[in-house]
Structure 1
Amino acid sequence: MTKPRECSRISSMLYHGLPLIKKQQQDVLGFLEANKIEFEEKDIAANEENRKWMRENVPEDRRPASGNPLPPRLFNDSRYLGDYEAFFEARENNAVYAFLGLTAPPGSKEAEALAKQQA
């Protein structure tokens, strides 16, 4: 059995509403699960405390001009990491572990890319 990756706490803010948001959430959660990265889901649709926590912890410069920030939003403990677009860009650039504040596992594309840069 593979041991989960060490991390503080990756949180994915969830909302069970719009199909696009649901697809993005599934994409993020699928990646975390497939790579055995420990995470905690926080449902903002059913829990006012989670909704308030997300609003307070998304930096002002990352909030929409009007309305509230929409999920998925990712955090490592209370440190804001980014939204789906930032996650997607990091994944496309083989830099998701760095985005999450984690060390890339040996043999991963990200670890190999880092080794080439440092060589």
Structure 2
Amino acid sequence: MVIKVYIASSSGSSAIKKQQQDVIGFLAANKIEFEECDIVVSEDNRKWMRENIPENSRPSTGNPLPPQIFNEEQYCGNYEAFFDAREDRAVYAFLGLTAPPGSKEAEALARREQQQ
């Protein structure tokens, strides 16, 4: 499974640029395989991203903004959802991936399972 991060290579928003760098930097640092899909250079990427974000995850006005994260065709979420998952040490679950053994997320999951 490949994580797809929909980005805008030439965004005028410094916040969007920072969020994109944050997501991509985290995935690269954790050796999570991903693909950048640029919505600026590919109309197909832009159209696919917009069509595949669930209705309940779309902004009330305007179009969804990058970064948007998918696991293949499955929508994972936007930057805010990614940030929340990272804060909760649940990024692998957010991405629909199994946390590697020995990772903080795998250890936290094992502790939760033992408590049940």
Cα RMSD (Å) of the superposition? 0.7
Q: What secondary structure sits across from 1:85 in the alignment?
A: helix
Taking the aligned partners of 1:14 and 1:70, their CA distance within structure 2 comes to 8
* Residue in 2 that maps onto 1:5: none
* Residue in 1 that maps onto 2:95: 100
Q: TM-score of the superposition, structure 2-length normalised?
A: 0.94
Deviation, structure 1 residue 61? 1.2
- Give CA deviations for 1:4-57 in whole Å, capped at 9, x if unaligned: xxxx11000011211100000000000100011111100001111100000110
Taking the aligned partners of 2:94 and 2:59, their CA distance within structure 1 comes to 21
- Residue 36 of structure 2 aligns with an amino acid whose one-letter code is E
Same amino acid, percent of matched pairs: 66
* Residue in 2 that maps onto 1:4: none
- Residue 5 of structure 2 aligns with an amino acid whose one-letter code is S
Aligned length: 112
Q: Does the alignment pair 1:9 with 2:2?
A: yes
- Give CA deviations for 1:61-89 in whole Å, capped at 9, x if unaligned: 11112211001000001110000000000
